[in-house]
Chain A
Amino acid sequence: MAATASNLAHAGAIAPRTGSAAEPRPLRIALIGNPNSGKTSLFNQLTGLNQKVGNFPGVTVDRKTGVAQLTATQRAEIIDLPGTYSLYPKSLDEKVITDLLYDKAADNYPDFVVVTVDANNLRRSLLLFTQLGDLGLPAVLALNMMDVAERHGVNIDLAALERELGVPIIPMNARKGIGVAALKIVMAQRLDAPPVRFWEPDERLLLLVRQIRYYFDLHNDYLALHYAQQYRQIGFLSADEKNHIQELTQQAGFNATAAQAAETIGRYARINEILLETVTVTRTETREPISNRIDKVLTHRVGGYLIFLGVLFLLFQAIFAWAQYPMDWIDQGISALSAVIQANFSGPLVRLLTEGVLAGLGGVLIFIPQIALLFGFLAVLEETGYMARVTFLMDKLMRPFGLSGKSVVPLISGLACAVPAIMGARTIESWKDRMITIFVTPLMSCSARIPVYTVLVALVVPDQAAWGIFNLRGVALMSLYLLGLFSALGSAWVLKKVLKARERSYFIMEFPVYQWPRWKNVALTIYQKVQAFVLQAGRVIVAISVLLWVLASYGPGQQQATAEAQVRQAAAAQQWDAPEISRRVASARLETSYAGKFGHLIEPAIRPLGYDWKIGIALLTSFAAREVFVGTISTIYSVGQDADMGTLQQKLSAEKDANGQPFFTPARAFSLLVFYVFAMQCMSTLAVTYRETKNWRWPLAQLVYMTGLAYVAALAVYQVLA
């Protein structure tokens, strides 16, 4: 490629960085560009697996950094910034860009920026580039998707464009890695601020701009204009400084919106001039682009929804069926490991390790297959561009409930597991829409509720046909799912009324062109999501598991020992066999443990719902995770943890109340079912809500709201049916 060679020559003309080996810190380079401009691909190409995900302070945006080996001796730290169309942030996520680029004194201020530009969308992409140039940031322009541009008959005179823009331009195809080597060579050079200015503030603004510029000792007018525009959101300005800027802007009668619009128009005018001289388009294809033709099918008024349903079906198949195998392996692996430990060691510490720590760890690891599959699936949908079409199809349906088209994916994922679903809500730009989505997602019936539903429905709903075609149990199960869905939508509607919007909600969104997924990106996404879950949510889960284990294992004073002695006496009289004895002992110890005390303690509160202290214990232990309900019930009714569902159901049916009537009446069972539909019995979800909102108030509100809803609904069900 001749163009690349000319760029290399250009780059070579710049004085090489002197004494780079002795530099105290490596180069710091920020990667910035429009969404869908291939920024992520380029980041992955530059850094490989050498990346880490952190957080920008104060916001929930992932801060992806990585190390690139530019030359044999020189490395650079690469910061991947969120995709944006301009330097005027529209969402909280985009704000991290201006936070980083406004403050030259900041620790993370980049030495220069690499701007990724889609060669097919030069006009729009250059808007951001000219803003960066006018801020005085040294820049390299990575002209991406050259192959597509060539196919579309877009001819770019690279030498002329380089002259007009005043920065090195590297033509590339980041997906295939073409041009990355050349880019690295240019990046290893010392780059000066671009000599070209694209746009100057209007003369009428000059007084204001200069006042701000000299007051803050800024290096150029354009940065001063940004201070005037966005001082309210600049984190590093003090209240006094903000007040000062406010006074200045008021004196000058500064109209931020009009000024920004004038700037954008002015920039487009300049960009049009540049493109007129450097780009010629000879459309070779007269037919509609293939992407538009695919859209005709995928967003068809009937076909579009059918295909979406098909995709959903595949997604559920993956999460419920395929994920089951690795989940079983993890489950068995953890059990085997704790069996080995228990067989070879004994003592309270070993029990803490196996029943507290290992059990908690198992509770974390068991989610990995589902999280990995869900995020892999979503990443493929995102990469191909299909996700944008789904939000397009669903937006109108979701808006009455205060949700947007982008809420659909988290809500649907919530049927599998709320944890990855809440993490998936990140794609929603509007703060309010995102918070509503996160808040209501746990109301969707997740897979952990299935064991609870199965046991209780089988207990009270007869296994017979209804209306000829349906099975009554199936109808009951479906009603529970629908109850979850409608409560989620209803709660969203309430929140929409309560919550105040922080910014205006937009749906203006670019439709990415359809393309094959880049498997490397998909794999990296899976890896990063799983890692984030294990490290951040995992810690909380393990901690609470250990706490619950202590509560269920120890009791006040000698009560547990006394209870155990009584059981053993009874065992001698009744001649029980050894497994029966150990089951009865476990049951007696649990009753006299702190958890058992808790069950008795809350019995007055849950009696109106039809529950006794035994269910109280199960409610407490299943606070960690709903599926624990079945295990705890098994222990309480001393059927042993390994008993199959049939045994448990016989035990439960045989349970009698004080009057000798069956304890699990339909009223009690339905009350319990409804309780589990609504109750926030999942600390993983609470942990991940905290992680995503960075505020304890959200998980707390979720806990209080959902538990309250569960209590009231279960109360109503029991009182009406009983």
Chain B
Amino acid sequence: MAFFRRSPQIVSAQATARRSAKDLHVGETGTICCLEDPEMALKLLEMGCVPGVQVRLSGRAPLGDPLMLVLGDQEYTLSVRASEAATILLKE
């Protein structure tokens, strides 16, 4: 699958370089490029985190985790843990 980058070298080499939804600033919008963790990806895909969809970080819980993500132009809000958001990679 093209959007899974399962090869461990690629993941570790790029995970530091690529931004994920976790790295967004509050209020900032990015576009989902791919999902890193295959198992987590299934759940995220079902919830509408599809590559190409816009994602906006609308807030963080007071302790910094979980995050509140607004998806697409449909304006619905997901709550995800920071560790889960880290698997949502963004386009450059």
Question: Residues of A with Cβ closer than 8 Å to B?
Answer: 85-86, 88, 90, 120-124, 127, 152, 257-258, 260-262, 264-265, 268, 281, 283, 289, 291-292, 295-296, 299-302, 304-305, 388, 391-393, 395-397, 405, 504, 506-511, 513
Contacts and interface: CB of A to CB of B under 8 A. Distances in A.
A247 B20 CA distance: 38
Contact of B61 (A122, A262, A283, A396): A396
B58 A508 contact: no
Given A258-B4, A265-B3, A395-B66, A511 B79 contact: yes
A348 B91 CA distance: 81
Contacts of A123: 48, 72, 74
Given A305-B62, A506-B84, A508-B84, A392 B43 contact: no
Contact of B73 (A260, A265, A281): A281
B70 interface: yes
Contacts of B19: none
Interface string B32-59: 0000001111111111101100000011
B14 interface: no
Contacts of A85: 46-47
Nearest to B62: A301
Given A295-B59, A299-B61, A510 B47 contact: yes
Nearest to B71: A124
B39 A121 contact: no
A292 B61 contact: no
Contacts of A507: 66, 79-81, 84
Contact of A511 (B45, B65, B68): B68
A281 B72 CA distance: 13
Contacts of A264: 42, 45-46, 50
Range class of the B interface residue count: 35 or more
Q: 8 closest pairs, A vs B, by CB?
A: A301-B62, A511-B77, A396-B63, A85-B46, A124-B48, A264-B45, A507-B81, A86-B46
B62 A393 contact: yes
Nearest to B67: A392
At the interface, is chain A mostly helix, strand, loop or mixed?
helix
Contacts of A510: 47, 76-79
B75 interface: yes
Contacts of A296: 59
Given A121-B74, A392-B66, A395-B61, 7 more contacts: A257-B38, A264-B50, A302-B62, A391-B79, A392-B61, A405-B66, A504-B39
A261 B63 contact: no
10 contacts: A257-B42, A260-B42, A265-B50, A265-B51, A393-B61, A507-B79, A507-B81, A508-B79, A510-B47, A510-B78
Nearest to B76: A121
B8 interface: no
A506 B85 CA distance: 11
